[in-house]
Amino acid sequence: MTEGVLTGFTVAVTAERRRDEMAALLTRRGARVVTASAISIVPLADDDALHAATAACIGLAPDLVVATTGFGFRGWLEAAEGWGLGDQLREVLGRARIVARGPKPCGAIRAAGLSEEWAAQTESTDEILERLLAAGVAGLRIVVQEHGEPQTAFVAALRGAGAAVVEVPVYRWVLPPDLSPVRRLAEQIVAGQIDAVTFTSAPAAKAFLRVAGESAPAALDRLGSGATLAACVGPVTAGPLAERGIPVVMPARYRLGALIKTVTDELPRRSVKLRVAGSTLEMRGHAVLIDGAAHTLAPAAMAILTSLAARPGVVVSKDQLIAALPRGNDGHAVDVAVARLRTALGSGRHIETVIKRGYRLRLDEPAA
């Protein structure tokens, strides 16, 4: 049987929007998926602040509109329709120059029958701000569609350069009411049970760092060391992690599908591959592939095999293996775990018993 390319790996999804889609894509590739939304989206369609900002936008007749997300831009127009302001909003937007923070808001702009003047290639508000300030904004009336949280520095810079700015809060990010899934994810990272964590927004990355830092700070150490892979959809999302010194991988194209492909390429590349007793062993998070066939292992058996694979061909003492077991225990627990490991692998030939000393893998030569 051909195994999925991510068979044996466990990947965490921290997104709320498109969470199920991401989980399905990863599961289809063989991964075990853990979902723990780090943030919740609160729509503001019935919010007085959004209604007031929409009325202000219509009254302002802006020269320039900054659209930051497709989701938010569509939600804004839908809310305006509900208030009977849709036609008026489209009219003033149609007369304004529209700048987009990447292709997603471009799609929403065009779907509304409007067109953007230009889009940020880096998909960041930093690029938009740099270009606007270089061109000069003094005296301009600018509307900024926020994306989950106030764009304080961005708006302050525009106002400081002489622009009149209206902020449009379409939705906001908040911590989920139940933080237990995020705390549990942090504990699983500490226990070495998570191979990769995916992030699709900077607010989610910030929220995860905050919750994990409070409940299981060692999880951040594993991410910082690269023991658990941090995978981000793009540089804006990666920003909070980079500020903490956590290495990240990201696709060249900042899209969900490209993020999944990056994880799919990166995890197998990082796995340890050995030639043992005539077989190719590939160590993965909760399984080992023997000549391409997956063998799912219990945590104790996986811990033993991981310790042996870290020093292939070298005798690993029982004391060292006891320390590697999830709950410690004693030499008898090691013997039991090794016996179960041999059974799971379908053969005892891969692991050699060295009397009174410990165990070692029967190493051939490094796999190609």
Tokens of 91: 């009219």
Q: Are 251 and 262 in contact (CB under 8 A)?
A: yes
Top mean-pLDDT range of 116-130, 279-293, 351-365: 116-130
Residue 167 has pLDDT above 50, yes or no: yes
Residue 32 has pLDDT above 70, yes or no: yes
For residue 145, what pLDDT band results from cuts at 50, 70 and 90? very high
Give the whole-angstrom CA distance, residue 44 versus residue 286: 42
Residue 1 has pLDDT above 50, yes or no: no
Give the whole-angstrom CA distance, residue 124 versus residue 37: 23
Task: Identify the weakest region by mean pLDDT among 98-102, 104-108, 246-250, 317-321.
Answer: 317-321
Looking at per-residue confidence, does 293 or 131 come out higher?
Answer: 131
Q: Are 128 and 118 in contact (CB under 8 A)?
A: no
Residue 165 has pLDDT above 90, yes or no: yes
What is the structure's pLDDT at 45? 61
What is the structure's pLDDT at 159? 96
- What does DSSP say about strands 97-100 and 293-296: parallel, antiparallel, or unpaired? unpaired
Looking at per-residue confidence, does 330 or 71 come out higher?
Answer: 71
| CA of residue 58 relative to chain centroid, distance | 37
What is the structure's pLDDT at 180? 95
Give the whole-angstrom CA distance, residue 9 versus residue 271: 10
Q: Are 19 and 41 in contact (CB under 8 A)?
A: no
Residue 366 has pLDDT above 60, yes or no: no
- What does DSSP say about strands 97-100 and 196-199: parallel, antiparallel, or unpaired? unpaired
Looking at per-residue confidence, does 353 or 33 come out higher?
Answer: 33
What CA–CA distances, in Å, run from 142 to 93, 124, 212, 292, 319? 11, 17, 38, 58, 67
Give the whole-angstrom CA distance, residue 333 versus residue 326: 11
Q: Could you say which DSSP state residue 166 is in?
A: E
For residue 347, what pLDDT band results from cuts at 50, 70 and 90? low
Q: What is the pLDDT of residues 301-333, one digit of tens each?
A: 888 888 888 887 788 888 888 888 876 567 788
Q: What is the pLDDT of residues 246-282, one digit of tens each?
A: 999 999 887 889 999 999 999 999 998 888 777 888 9
What is the structure's pLDDT at 357? 66
Name the strand (E) or helix (H) holding 138.
none
SS3 276: strand
What CA–CA distances, in Å, run from 147 to 14, 133, 269? 18, 21, 35
Q: Considering the chain, what percentage of its residues have pLDDT values greater than 70?
A: 93
Nearest to 3 by CA among 289, 359, 309, 330: 289
Looking at per-residue confidence, does 116 or 234 come out higher?
Answer: 116
Nearest to 59 by CA among 97, 85, 83, 35: 85
Nearest to 231 by CA among 5, 2, 11, 8: 11
Which residue do the tokens 């989980």 mark?
23
